[in-house]
Structure 1
Amino acid sequence: MNRKTFTLATLLALSGAASAQTVLNVSTWLPPTHGASMAQVQWCEAVEKETRGSVKCNHLPKAVSAPPGTFDAVRDGLADVSFTVDGYTPGRFVFTQLAEFPFLGDSSTATSVAYQRIYEKYFAPLGEHRGVKTLAVFTHGPGIIFTVKQPVTSAADAARLKFRIGGGNINELSRLMGWNTTLKPATDSFELLSTGVMDGTFFPDESLQSMKLSMVKHATTFPGGLYNTSFVFMMNPARYNALKPEERAAIDKVSGEAATRLFAAGWDRTDAASREIQKTTGVQRQMASEAFVNEVKAKQAQLEDKWVAAAEARGLKNARAVLAEFRAETQKLK
């Protein structure tokens, strides 16, 4: 083989290798420095490593959809991979609300890993996220009441203010508590609070920094969190099914609990960092009183009954036992 023939053969081989590579378009509606966005990048790195470079990610410069439309965007192929908040589309998902009840745990890792295990065992077979390939589920860290001008020391204090919320169980709980809340994506928080349209927001700790909410000066925390928010990390099913069997196996290996732990660790890390920053920015933190906690528990009991009925209507057997198993799993993971 002469040099010209060798060069041509080499170029053809390289061209074939390049064309064989699968590139996944990955979207995030959160800032690129957010823990969830960074966890998605880590997952992509793991995919590329496990597939020896045959599958890699293209991180899109802007989200393909507003946060509430992300699930349908992935389902319809506008992005191959992304994550979203289940509660951004009220009434669409039922089983996911199990991970959003109050007082579950003081870390994202405990609630997220327990949720992933329960999801795989009970919810995935019932098609809770039909239309997409579910890669993992997770929750953010413990939910907190944040306010701009005044502290919230009781349910009555909260009832006098206006709050942004992200949907899901906290939306239902707020209604029962008589609180004035509006469902808006996390990314709207800065404008809502800086203009005074809202007096506060319900968020985990990290959101003060990731959403640049320097106007917040008060935080009311709850043992185990006032709520959690459930997320789904997902892939377009046609894109997944078009992969080679060994590539699908590699993606499966780095998904499930492995991916859940990536997202949860990122959240716990940024929650902790935010708490340290709050010490220097004048955020006044207080734990909810026993009376306040008991007021929430009384209303939450009604929501659990409602969830059990709704979950069983969608085919989940012994929903109350599943909830108890989930709570027990979070305790083991603390």
Structure 2
Amino acid sequence: MAFRPALTAALTAGLLATGAASAQTVFTTSSWVPPTHTLTTAQGAWCSLLEKESAGRMKCNALPKAVTAAPGTFDAVRDGLVDISFTVDGYTPGRFINTQVAEFPFLGDSAVPTSVAYQRIYSKYFAPLGEHRGVKVLGVFTHGPGIIFNSKKPVLTAEDAASLKFRIGGGNINELSKLMGWNTTLKAAPESFELLSTGVMDGTFFPDESVASFKLSMIKHATTFPGGLYNTSFVFMMNPAKYNALSAQDKAVVDKISGETAARIFGEGWDKVDAASRDGAQKAQGVQRVQASPAFIDAVKAKQQQLEDKWAAAAEAKGLKNAKGVLAEFRAEIAKAK
């Protein structure tokens, strides 16, 4: 009988140890785009890497529908309605300042170098200033070069663009459109099909990928710009309380696959679907592609210079030093990144 308490204690300890070993952290994830969209699949790829790198201690559970519309996603992650998601900084105008640097025209023709370079600049300059305070930033990234798409006619000049109504996604392109005198309305990407199919809008500003992803079969014309007419700044994020509750070992795993690793996952996914949309959906529906004329490009550059000056002043007022130098460094990093 004397040995029973010891035996019981030993068994209990063994069961507790087994339970601890099998304990698993499950992160809920949310996506406001379709399950097949590259944003959703890239988030899934990151989650698969998380499970692999943690030897199964951490995994994700994708919710069947978004917990909120795209503009409310940042707050949803911050407040713990969902553990992991992504959003477009420009969907909440005026909230983020430094990130606008990744939205400027003519940055690059591929999502990978712009995303990797943006992540490097973000980590070095923006993260210390608390640009996304309230969430644990897993990575920042951009989509491919922005294009003018429409269902009506070739857009060869700034005046052609001014004669049509466009849906846009916010950020720098919102301000640039105003300076150019264009008729644009800020709406989240998932609303594009209804806006264009009902004739409320004549076109939309999007990367190549979106024609296929959002099934925009009404699109017949595309105007491209070297390096893109615009770009979009995204943040991929985690609820901070969820992160803080992790063990040191698991925090190290999350940190290991965050930053450039996450940026590259999203960038590579975007480049792949951009190419597929150009070669597939757009070709099948007869989209006519033209490149903006030098005069059109120069008109955009003239207006954009005003916005870069405005951005630099606003960023420095928020604590960023030598904003123009940071922008130049960002462009240099894009040229180096592959």
Distance 2:12 2:144 in 1: 54
1:20-35 alignment, distance < 5 Å: 20-35=23-38
- The count of aligned residue pairs is 329
Shift of residue 16 of structure 1?
Answer: 1.8
Indicate how the Cα distance of structure 1 residues 11 and 218 shifts in structure 2: closer, same or farther if over 3 A, else same: farther
Residue 295 (structure 1) aligned with residue 303 (structure 2): no
- CA distance in 1: counterparts of 2:58 and 2:79, whole angstroms: 20
Letter of the structure 2 residue corresponding to residue 273 of structure 1: A
Select which of 39, 44, 59 maps to 1:41: 44
Matches within 5 A, 1:1-334: 12=15, 16-17=19-20, 20-277=23-280, 278-333=282-337
What SS is found at the alignment partner of 1:44?
A: helix
Distance in 2 (alpha carbons) for counterparts of 1:49 and 1:136 = 19
The 3-state SS of whatever aligns with 1:226 is: coil
Aligned partner of residue 68 in structure 1, secondary structure: helix
CA distance in 2, matches of 1:280, 1:30: 23
Where 2:231 maps in the other structure, the secondary structure is coil
Q: Offset of 1:17 from its aligned partner?
A: 4.6
Q: Where does structure 1 lack aligned partners over 5 or more consecutive residues?
A: none
The offset of 1:49, in angstroms, is 1.1
Counterpart code for 2:331: R
Report the Cα offset of residue 11 of structure 1: 11
| Alpha-carbon displacement from aligned partner over 1:280-301 (angstroms, at most 9, x marks no partner) | 2200000000000000000000
4+ residue runs over 3 A deviation: 8-15
Residue aligned with 1:49, SS: helix
Find the aligned partners of 1:207 and 1:143 in 2 and give their Cα distance.
Answer: 10
Q: Distance in 2 between matches of 1:184 and 1:166?
A: 6
How far residue 110 of structure 1 moved from its aligned partner, in angstroms, is 1.2
Shift of 1:10: 12
Q: Secondary structure at the match of 1:293?
A: helix
Q: Deviations over 1:152-203 (max 9, x none)?
A: 1110011111110000000000000000110000000000000000000000
- What whole-Å deviation, never above 9, does each CA across 1:100-126 have from its counterpart, x for those lacking one? 100010000111111000000000000
Mark the CA change 1:246 to 1:214 in structure 2 (over 3 Å): closer, same or farther.
same
Aligned residue type for 2:171:
G
CA separation of 1:29 and 1:11: change in aligned 2, threshold 3 A: farther
Aligned-partner SS, 2:64:
coil
> Partners of 2:44 and 2:68 in 1: how far apart?
19
Given the superposition, is the C-alpha separation of residues 193 and 19 from structure 1 closer, same or farther in structure 2, using an over 3 Å criterion?
A: same
Report the 3-state secondary structure (helix = DSSP H, G, I; strand = E; otherwise coil) of the residue aligned with 1:137.
strand
Query: Given the superposition, is the C-alpha separation of residues 53 and 282 from structure 1 closer, same or farther in structure 2, using an over 3 Å criterion?
Result: same
Aligned amino acid, residue 101 of structure 2:
L
Q: Secondary structure at the match of 1:285?
A: strand
Cα RMSD (Å): 1.8
> Matched residues in 1 for 2:23 and 2:308: separation?
50
Q: State the secondary structure of the residue aligned to 2:204.
A: strand
Deviation at 1:143, TM superposition (A): 0.0
* Partner secondary structure for residue 49 of structure 2: helix
For 2:175 and 2:99, locate their aligned partners in 1 and report how far apart those are by CA, in whole Å: 14
How far apart, CA to CA, are the structure 2 residues paired with 1:63 and 1:189? 17
33-42 or 164-173: which moved more? 33-42
Aligned partner of residue 16 in structure 1, secondary structure: helix
Q: Which runs of 5+ in 2 are unaligned?
A: none
**Deviation (angstroms), 1:48:** 0.8
Mapped to 1, the partners of 2:177 and 2:335 lie a distance apart of 26
* Identical pairs, percent: 73
Amino acid at match of 1:292: F
Q: Tell me the distance in 1 between the aligned counterparts of 2:285 and 2:165.
A: 23
